[in-house]
Structure 1
């Protein structure tokens, strides 16, 4: 039998999963996704070589199926698909770990209670992350589970980078800048030396640009500053989220427009960003393919805000030596990379147009003061490694 690690990343309407051999380092066996939960479930899976599993062996999910049905069915499918596997432990992507978790943690009742209290800080993600843990515990109560936090990577930041200019008592209560996408940044930090050698410890900014977007400034491959703050709503413009916003806008919406807290939550988390500006789509590829001026405006604003944030983060590390683009937009949109870097030529950032169009790993012009790289992220392998480490402890 092959001992394996199960990795789960659960959202409001999807379950992403991966299975790794419990080796050192973990090796991918298969990965897949169930999308359209609650509407029209669609299951897909492929092995480590990218071979797609035949659809006739996929589990069948009813449109009304919830996680309580999906998690045990998924486990049964994995075991049936690979009869030689024994799941040794499960690792979960959990968005918020609060102030004290600087690394992964074994799931206990006390930990779940602690993480439940953080739901208001990550309302789009945390409830689903925790629901998956509880569903797996119900179907496999003896299975060790590990929570891997998107906030942990940023706990190395100086206190100045974490503080808001608000009364100290509120800061002491935990109203701080936490930062997110830490699993992605952890992966980039761990692989960067393989691309640039000892320069990986210099001044680096990683641009994680996707439906959720943020940036992280690093020195010695440790987080120094990041664009997201108290919640995953702050910083860059995103697919549906507004990013940084004058808090006076929220007061105006409440006082003059009569919006409730629920109305504002929906507006800022679901109706803003690329979707709100374009009134067309939250998908960058769709907007880039559109001739509508509103679509172009949304793309331009996304790039403008990203360039401004990148320049601000450079101040926190005293300049810039390496810029890394990652995640869905960062890895796949040559247009976005071009528009951002054109605004930053004054920083010594110059793209090689041909390499950029080819989505090469090194897309900076030879001789440019700043190295520019495109590195695909892999949060699942970070979770698998952490889970294996914690399960063995």
Structure 2
């Protein structure tokens, strides 16, 4: 192990979020590259954003590594880079070292997550080009939900080659797995047998966790389905999607469903729940009510999948910080009894770093 630190990477279409963790899993530094391909800037820790030319992902990584060096962290200090990869496809589930075969598996999943996996892969390739000897690991957002039963994962479609990849994969798995593993440490309470977990942020989902394993979740084939989200439509009839495609064409329909819908579409204003809470308009109130209504409605199906409920855990930006949303959801679920509930701070990056460090120390995973 050349150094004891892990660089955790979460790459999107126009941003790269990175965090450095030491061997004791303490966060040392955070650097975000924003506006890649547009008006670029770097955010270092809690400091002000600094303008920076970032035409592409490789350049953004070069800028991040240069800033790390300025902060006293060189390539020699890094033991590994560990990536959040949204989709592991049908085969990749557990956190693993990135080999040529694993990279190929991530590439094969590109059609399943076209808005996410290409950028995850670009981040992996950029680090490979810049630091070819640095071990890299991938943690998959779909992996935690592999324990869902077949009846939960299977769509009612004929068993044909063209439908073989159409499954309810589920997402936010890294968040849910870290919540489960850190539950006792965070709350001082044993993990409830039947836990309803709510990951509420710009992307939002629910997960039914039975005996520590996912048995149902609201997201399906893609991160588009399920709850009302910041800009994503969530639950929508497939017939309505086909109607949009016929009327608007594929690209415009896809953009509408992913980027113009959800809270932004309902309010006609913003996807920011804080701004909606401060806005005195019927549309803003409808957006927040819609968000809570569909959480409650789909929570019923999660509770049914577990055969009851013993606890509720809120995580994610909205789940942790919007007390009005939490109170409304709990009030709407009062029919299920006085359910214990907790707020669990999201710790996905720390969880990814923990898994990478464990694999580095495991002789079975050289």
TM band (smaller chain): over 0.9
Are 2:363 and 1:382 equivalent residues in the alignment? Answer: no
Q: Is the 8 A contact 1:213 1:238 kept in 2?
A: yes
Secondary structure in structure 1 of the residue aligned to 2:77: strand
Offset from partner CA, 1:233-258 (integer Å, 9 cap, x none): 11111001011111110122234x2x
Does 2:314 correspond to 1:287? no
Partner SS, residue 79 of structure 1? helix
C-alpha separation between the residues in 2 aligned to 1:305 and 1:161?
19
Q: 3-state SS of the aligned residue for 2:309?
A: coil
Gaps in structure 1 of 5+ consecutive residues: 47-51, 349-367
Displacement of 1:165 after TM fit?
Answer: 1.0
1:200 alignment partner, SS class: coil
The answer as to 2:279 corresponding to 1:310 is no
Separation of aligned partners in 1, 2:240 and 2:323: 33
1:253 is aligned, of 236, 244, 251, to 244
Q: Does 1:330 align with 2:302?
A: no
SS, match of residue 44 in structure 2: strand
120-129 or 36-45, larger mean C-alpha shift: 36-45
CA contact (8 A) 2:85 2:120 kept: yes
Q: In terms of mean alpha carbon deviation, does 225-234 or 157-166 score higher? A: 157-166
- Structure 1 match to 2:149: 158
Give the TM-score normalised by structure 1.
0.86
Q: Is the 8 A contact 2:199 2:315 kept in 1?
A: yes
Counterpart in the other structure of 2:67: 77
Q: CA RMSD in A?
A: 2.0
Residues 1:128 and 1:83: Cα distance change in structure 2 (over 3 Å)? closer
Q: Does the alignment pair 1:114 with 2:83? A: no
Secondary structure of the residue aligned to 2:160 is helix
Q: Distance in 1 between the 2:266 and 2:163 partners?
A: 36
Contact 1:164 1:171 in 2 (8 A): no
Give 1:13's aligned residue: 14
Kept after mapping to 2: 8 A contact 1:59/1:73: no
**1:341 matches 2:330:** yes
Task: Report the 3-state secondary structure (helix = DSSP H, G, I; strand = E; otherwise coil) of the residue aligned with 2:4.
Answer: strand
Query: Contact between 2:38 and 2:55, CA under 8 Å: does it hold in 1?
Result: no
Length-normalised TM-score, structure 2? 0.93
Deviation at 1:287, TM superposition (A): 0.9
Alpha-carbon offset, residue 109 of structure 1? 2.5
- Partner Cα separation in structure 1 for residue 158 and residue 14 of structure 2: 38
Match of 1:41?
Answer: 40
Residue matched to 1:371: 340
Q: 1:361 maps to what in 2? A: none
Aligned counterparts of 1:172 and 1:291: Cα–Cα separation in 2: 46
Quote the Cα distance in structure 2 between the aligned partners of 1:326 and 1:186. Answer: 12
Q: 1:299 to 1:4 in 2, by over 3 A?
A: same
**Whole-Å Cα distance in 2 between the matches of residues 59 and 88 of structure 1?**
28
1:190 aligns with 2:181: yes
Range that drifts further, 64-73 or 144-153? 64-73
Residues 6, 80 of structure 2: 8 Å contact kept: yes
Deviation at 1:65, TM superposition (A): 2.7
Residue correspondence of structure 1 range 178-327 to structure 2 within 5 A: 178-195=169-186, 199-255=190-246, 257=247, 259-327=248-316
Structure 1 residue 170 displacement after superposition = 5.5
**Secondary structure at 1:205 match in 2:** strand
Task: Give the count of matched residue pairs.
Answer: 360
Match of 1:67 in 2: 57
Change in 2 beyond 3 A, CA 1:195/1:235: same
- More deviation in 195-204 or 67-76? 195-204
Separation (CA, whole Å) in 1 of partners of 2:286 and 2:50: 42
